[in-house]
């Protein structure tokens, strides 16, 4: 795993973000404010690499997250000195700082207007388009956000990040079919991303649970397949096993209640015995993971503690059912 400073900021927990933000002043002190192209300076100053600028960006995000606006401004200033204020990415970062510092809705409106002005000049500015969509969503204007996102995806059809965002947006509104479609588009672009497979499985499962559509059985069957695929792509993937357990529980539960053959659907369920075996395997694996995580086995500490807790709860539920 890359060092903390270089990891994408979104993957950091709160504690890690704080840790990063605390390193910011020292990093700012160690590195020069600007790099000169002249050879004489480059002999005396630390070398400039693309990593430096990734770190600056991460520090900026972490400082904003922890509320250290003065340091954030210093980071931004250096980025502006290096890349110029008109760079697309820098424009987006500037907007982000303004968004973070905004105290009420009217200030956010102001930022939104600025974004729209930039986009009116240059409608291919991807970072700003994305910021505008994110801001719309943050301001609770979901419908406008999804409309803007659909427009954005019309010309950038190969942007997996945007598809995932759209999928999440639809999911938050309970539009399962659309969410699933968008998630599948993301999978077409990144076919081997196990987290996307598992996420799609979760969506399908939710769609089956909600029962708004007529084919919960088909959703469950495909959800089962998605979880299986995510485990196939990534051994010991907790979310995959967790989903597999939930979905097989549900299927077995259903099977016992109503034995309804649904051959009309194209996605067919496997044999009940197979489902049982999968359920057993998932239970066993989840048990393993929880046990090893609790035993502080150094090789098994990479899991998110919340996810492990959910797995633990799920397991205890099952064992209670068994006792009853």
Partner 1 sequence: MAQIPPQTLHRDPQLFYWILIPITIVMVLTGVLRHYASVLMATTPKKADIKAIREQRALAHGAALRTNYHVLSRKSFETRRDFLIEGFESGAYLKAPNQKGQPPANPMTDPNAMEGMMGMMKNNMAMIIPNTLIMSWINAFFSGYVIMKLPFPITIKFKSMLQAGVQTKDMDPRWMSSISWYFLCIFGLQFVYVFLLGSDNAASQIAQQMQAQQMPVGPMAPGQDPSKMFKAEAENLAVIEHYSVLDGIEERLLERIKV
Smallest distance, partner 1 to C-beta of residue 231, A: 6
How far is residue 269's CA from residue 250's CA, in Å, rounded to a whole number?
13
Residues 105, 111, 112, 114, Cα dihedral to 10°: 150
Tell whether residue 287 is a contact of partner 1 (CB under 8 A).
no
Smallest distance, partner 1 to C-beta of residue 319, A: 21
Q: Mark residue 192 as left, alpha or beta (left: phi above 0; alpha: psi -120 to 50; beta: remaining).
A: alpha
Number of residues that bind partner 1 (CB under 8 A): 35
Closest CA to 9 of 86, 73, 93: 93
Among 123, 173, 272, 319, binds partner 1 (CB under 8 A): 123
Among 158, 212, 301, 316, binds partner 1 (CB under 8 A): 158
b/e burial code for range 4-23 (CB count within 10 A of at least 16 → b): ebeeebeebeeeebeebbee
Smallest distance, partner 1 to C-beta of residue 85, A: 15
DSSP 33: S
- Residue range at the interface with partner 1 (CB under 8 A); choices 21-29, 267-275, 286-294, 314-322: 267-275
Q: Residue 247: how many CA atoms within 13 Å on its side-chain side?
A: 34
Q: Which is nearer to partner 1, 158 or 319 (CB)?
A: 158
Unique residue bearing structure tokens 């010991």 = 236
Among 267, 292, 300, 318, binds partner 1 (CB under 8 A): 267
Query: Is the sign of the CA dihedral 179, 181, 187, 189 positive or negative?
Result: negative
Q: Which is nearer to partner 1, 212 or 274 (CB)?
A: 274
Tell whether residue 155 is a contact of partner 1 (CB under 8 A).
yes
Binding interface with partner 1 (CB under 8 A): 37, 39, 42, 122-124, 154-158, 181, 184, 187-189, 191, 197, 222, 224-226, 228-229, 231-232, 266-267, 270, 274-275, 277-278, 281, 285
């Amino acid at each position: 795993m890359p060092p903390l400073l270089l990891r994408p900021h979104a993957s950091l927990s709160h504690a890690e973000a704080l840790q990063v933000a605390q390193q910011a002043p020292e990093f700012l002190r160690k590195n020069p404010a600007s790099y000169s192209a002249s050879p004489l300076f480059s002999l005396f100053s630390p070398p400039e690499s693309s990593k430096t600028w990734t770190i600056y960006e991460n520090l900026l995000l972490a400082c904003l997250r922890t509320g250290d606006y003065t340091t954030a401004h210093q980071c931004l200033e250096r980025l502006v000195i290096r890349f110029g204020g008109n760079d697309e990415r820098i424009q987006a970062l500037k907007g982000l700082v303004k968004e973070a510092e905004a105290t009420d809705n009217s200030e956010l409106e102001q930022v939104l207007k600025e974004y729209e002005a930039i986009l009116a000049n240059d409608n291919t500015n991807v970072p700003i388009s994305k910021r505008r969509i994110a801001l719309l969503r943050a301001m609770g204007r979901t419908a406008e956000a999804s409309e803007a996102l659909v427009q954005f995806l019309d010309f950038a059809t190969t942007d997996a990040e945007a598809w995932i965002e759209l999928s999440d947006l639809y999911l938050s509104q309970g539009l399962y079919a659309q969410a699933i479609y968008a998630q599948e588009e993301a999978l077409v672009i990144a076919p081997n991303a196990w987290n996307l497979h598992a996420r799609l499985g979760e969506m399908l499962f939710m769609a089956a649970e909600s029962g708004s559509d007529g084919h919960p059985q088909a959703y469950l069957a495909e959800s089962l397949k998605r979880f299986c695929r995510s485990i196939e792509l990534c051994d010991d993937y907790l979310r995959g096993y967790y989903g597999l357990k939930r979905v097989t529980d549900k299927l077995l539960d259903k099977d016992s209640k109503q034995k309804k053959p649904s051959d009309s659907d194209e996605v067919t369920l496997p044999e009940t015995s197979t489902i049982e075996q999968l359920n057993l395997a998932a239970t066993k694996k989840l048990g393993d993971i929880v046990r090893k995580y609790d035993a502080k086995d150094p090789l098994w500490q990479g899991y998110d503690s919340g996810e492990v807790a959910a797995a633990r709860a799920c397991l205890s539920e099952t064992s209670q059912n068994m006792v009853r």
